[in-house]
Structure 1
Amino acid sequence: MLKISAFAKLAQTTRRTLILYDKQNVFKPEYVSPEGYRFYNYDQLYELSFILTLRKLGLSLDEIKQISSDSDKKSPNALLTNLQDRVDNQIHDLLAVKQSLSTRMAVINMETPIHRDQPYINEHQRQTFWQSATLHDCSRQQIAQAFAQFYKQLDPLVSINGKCSGFVLDLPDENAANFINAPFRLIKEATTPINTDLTTIDRPAGNYLAIDIDNDDTAIRNGIDLLHQYAISKHLSLCGPLWQINVNEDIRMAEATTAILRLEYLVSD
């Protein structure tokens, strides 16, 4: 037989865990000496490995005791069925996490050319975005509150998938003076169906007049002016709304933004 420390090492657990399991009647040693020393058989390793696996799956000690009882070993019961369902759900969740992370890594690995402070034509395919309710206050507090509410309604994995996010503003005629008071909505590219009450908005396919600028109000107003001047010089007709897209969004930062924003207006045919 093995002393408790040797058995714990063999099972890749701790002496403290074995003592706890003994006191909670979850897993008992094969023999306890008159001096109180615990001893275990090699054959007990298989049962302990099963118990440790159940703990990793999040089962409580009481649930494990029920599953490990003599009667439950002889016939499956509701707890075992629930355990199987829990494992299936965890597999589903992990696959979803894997897919979301793979999507984000693919986006990260795609280099996005930056045209800072220089208008250019950007071609888009049709895209669908989830959108928040319309807001009329561009204060940091209002945006932060709206951001928290918006992403609460989305699947948590959507926020980290690296897909397009930003704002859509009702700002016709490229009038930068009206930017600060323009009604706006938060948007996030809709990739897979989710259970949400959020509505969607489509960004039509076509050519967009775009500019990449710093993420601050002054730069945004300057960017809108540059788009307006470029459109006049090239005899382009632009359609609202204004799309304000985060370039290479960073989920660690407020509003999931980075230092670079892309402003875009659809060019009319």
Structure 2
Amino acid sequence: MAAPGYGKQSAPEQLPRSAADFSHLPAREAYLASLIDHLPDGAAMDVKTLAAYQPHYGQMACRTVLNNLSTAGHLRRVRERLESRNCRWVFRTYFSRTPRSDAWWNRFLMTGEASTSGAPDPPRERTLNRTPPASAAYAALSGLGLADARLALSAADCTALEPLAAEWLARGATPALFTAALTAGLPPDGVHSPAAFTRRRLLDKMPPERPLPGPPTARIVECTDCRTPCRTPALLGGLCRACRGTPQAAPPLRRLSPAIVRAHAARARQAMITSPRS
């Protein structure tokens, strides 16, 4: 296993395993891809470790295989910054036995979303002659009278106070905590106006706002081969331009003048005349 936070990370939304998962790959790539696929998350999968996992291929072959698997859409290497006190950076390899396009990997690595289409809405039950169910805030208010009769509220009171109760629940208060906070320490001589008293308590005892979620995890994509950090759109098949190679223009043809051509021909004829015959 790699150090905590490092190593293999399984990509989301993969198809179930089957015998044909890597049938589109050459034998060497299919063999090592199957080996990686069965490694647990967090396992080391660097070139040196992969070469030690199996007896067939050395480090150079494993490096070539990782590049080919990246080009085939099965993996991407990234650096991720953990939002901790010391902002530690970790190095991870996302692996998918289901081959993905560059667009899929770019979207996932930049936004964390695996697909653009959301899950279908759950089927709704048909209801006949039924009113919509009450919200959690409304139910919490209506339950106060059951916990203590001195805070019995009418339907109109619950509707008017529902936004304040909803804010309590949005700030993390559970229905049990909500009821306990509002019914604790009631005046012994009774409550003359349950609605006004409840409103005052809802305002005075409002829980603190929940902290906003931290910024998304910083993620830098690396070239699978040279490990150079790159912008995600700059990688094709997980390889930077230098590693995937750029087509080089053919050298321009050198055109010889007729005089030079005749001089070359004359020298060739003279060499044939003067050369000894076997």
Please, what TM-score do these two structures have when normalized by structure 2? 0.25
Greater strand share, 1 or 2? Answer: 1
Please, what TM-score do these two structures have when normalized by structure 1? 0.25
Q: Which protein shows a greater Rg?
A: 2
